[in-house]
Amino acid sequence: MNFKIAVLPGDGIGPEISIVGVNIMSAVCGKFGHKVNYEYAICGADAIDKVGNPFPDSTYQTCKDADAVLFSAVGDPKFDNDPTAKVRPEQGLLAMRKQLGLYANIRPVQTFKCLLHKSPLRMELVEGADFLCIRELTGGMYFGEKYQDNDKAYDTNMYTRPEIERILEVGFEYAAKRNKHLTVVDKANVLASSRLWRQIAQEMAPKHPEVNMDYMYVDNAAMRMIQEPKFFDVIVTENTFGDILTDEGSCISGSMGLLPSASIGENTPVFEPIHGSWPQAKGLNIANPVAQILSVAMLFEYFDLIEEGALIRKAVNASLDENVRTPEIQIEGGAKYGTKEVGEWIVDYINRQ
Ligand code: IPM
Ligand code: MN
């Protein structure tokens, strides 16, 4: 394949892990005879500082013209405690999702055998936990009508039938490819929007007889996820619930720095770590690049390049097994590896295969 990749390093630790992601991409392309070209573009706080817009049109064009986007992170504390800020880095991320029509966010939660003890949950609960959260990404409250004055504010949680159908379809598809268990997470006992989700899920279920579908209220799902994470195979849910549940899910594996995600839909797909920009760690060479590296694996797998993805996963597992790890998951007294060194080790491993 001849890849054209848009690279959006963004803010905080973004640029450091982005370099690692690109190096892994290049190494795997070299190994398998793919060509790859990178186009770099600005986003987030970096783009606000440079051009006053967290997702400028030039960045949109670069993404649109690419086969895939390798995204890192956006966010900067200087905006966090300023409720009056007119533009925010996060708006860039939302604009990218909306403008590229990326309605499905696929967030796998998995564990790594050698890191089970790092999970805040008991080992026997998390061992073997392996599920996918499919989060609706371009609708609901994040994009609905908003209002704010000094005394009143609201966000509207609106979903239309086509929006619900297409994301549920993604849920059924993934469940059919995995262990055939789809859990629709909603709040249908209270919210009208959730009741429509449930109604449409009921209509669609007979068309997917191989999938065993159930429903769960989001409050209950939040509890079940830490009580019995192995219950889940594929979860499908709306934007806000998915945002919250996937942060919860991400800590099951022991570090947020391990989990990748894919955002897919109408236009160029985006592959990104689920962690944020961790501004406090910027430039310190301590951020875990594994989530970004596994995002590259998801990128290859999206294009049905399964062996390429598998090689990256094998290399990551080998690095973890050999204690080539960033500080937050390193064993006591283990060798010191930074973002860069972990990346170099994994590139080297790939080259040696
Ligand atoms: C995420 C992030 C974003 C979201 C923020 C940065 C807007 O938390 O990708 O989960 O809430 O969607
Ligand atoms: Mn989030």
What is the token pair recorded at 28? 């795997």
Question: Considering the entire predicted model, what is its pTM?
Answer: 0.95
pLDDT, position 83 = 78
Question: 243 CA to middle of ligand 1, Å?
Answer: 7
* pLDDT over 90 percentage in the chain: 96
Distance (Å, whole) CA 56 – CA 54: 6
Residue 286 is classified by DSSP as -
Asked whether 243 lines ligand 1 (CB < 6 A), one says yes
Nearest residue CA, atom 8 of ligand 1? 243
Q: Ligand 1, residue 239: give the atom nearest the CA.
A: 12
pLDDT, position 80 = 83
Write out pLDDT tens, residues 54-63: 999 999 999 9
Q: Ligand 1, residue 272: give the atom nearest the CA.
A: 9
> In the predicted model, what is the mean pLDDT of residues 82-96?
91
Can you give the residue ranges of every domain in the chain? 1-102+266-353, 103-259
- Please count the other Cβ atoms lying within 10 Å of the Cβ belonging to residue 55: 26
Question: 240 CA to middle of ligand 1, Å?
Answer: 9
Range of weakest confidence among 112-121, 136-145, 259-268: 112-121
Question: 345 CA to middle of ligand 2, Å?
Answer: 30
> In the predicted model, what is the mean pLDDT of residues 215-221?
98
The size of the chain, in residues, is 353
Q: Which residues pair with 134 in a beta bridge?
A: 106, 236
Calculate the average pLDDT of the chain. 96
Ligand closest to 74 (CA) is 1
pLDDT, position 307 = 98
Asked whether 272 lines ligand 1 (CB < 6 A), one says no
Question: 244 CA to middle of ligand 2, Å?
Answer: 6
Write out pLDDT tens, residues 20-40: 999 999 999 999 999 999 999
Ligand closest to 142 (CA) is 1
CATH architecture of residue range(s) 103-259: 3-Layer(aba) Sandwich (3.40)
Nearest residue CA, atom 1 of ligand 1? 243
Domain at 1-102+266-353, CATH homologous superfamily? Isopropylmalate Dehydrogenase (3.40.718.10)
Distance (Å, whole) CA 135 – CA 329: 27
103-259 shares the fold of 1-102+266-353: yes
Please give the full DSSP string across 232-249, using - where no structure is assigned.
-SEEEE-HHHHHHHHHHH
68 CB contacts (<8 Å, ≥6 apart)? 3, 5, 6, 268, 269, 270, 271, 299, 302, 303
Distance (Å, whole) CA 66 – CA 82: 35
Asked whether 93 lines ligand 1 (CB < 6 A), one says yes
Q: Ligand 1, residue 246: give the atom nearest the CA.
A: 10
177 CB contacts (<8 Å, ≥6 apart)? none
Asked whether 73 lines ligand 1 (CB < 6 A), one says no
Element (H, E) at 135: strand 130-136
Question: 297 CA to middle of ligand 1, Å?
Answer: 21
Nearest residue CA, atom 12 of ligand 1? 243
Residue 53, pLDDT above cutoff 90: yes
Burial class (CB in 10 A: 0-12, 13-18, 19+), 192: exposed
Residue 82, pLDDT above cutoff 90: no
Q: Ligand 1, residue 137: give the atom nearest the CA.
A: 12
pLDDT, position 81 = 81
Write out pLDDT tens, residues 294-309: 999 999 999 999 999 9
> What's the one-letter identity of residue 350?
I
Write out pLDDT tens, residues 162-197: 999 999 999 999 999 999 999 999 999 999 999 999
Asked whether 299 lines ligand 1 (CB < 6 A), one says no
Q: What are the catalytic residues?
A: 142, 187, 219, 243, 247
Write out pLDDT tens, residues 319-351: 999 999 999 999 999 999 999 999 999 999 999
Q: Ligand 1, residue 89: give the atom nearest the CA.
A: 6
Residue 124, pLDDT above cutoff 90: yes
Ligand closest to 273 (CA) is 1
pLDDT, position 19 = 98
Please give the full DSSP string across 62-99, using - where no structure is assigned.
HHHTSSEEEEEE---HHHHT-TT-S--HHHHHHHHHHH
Nearest residue CA, atom 6 of ligand 1? 90
> What's the one-letter identity of residue 255?
S
Question: 199 CA to middle of ligand 1, Å?
Answer: 27
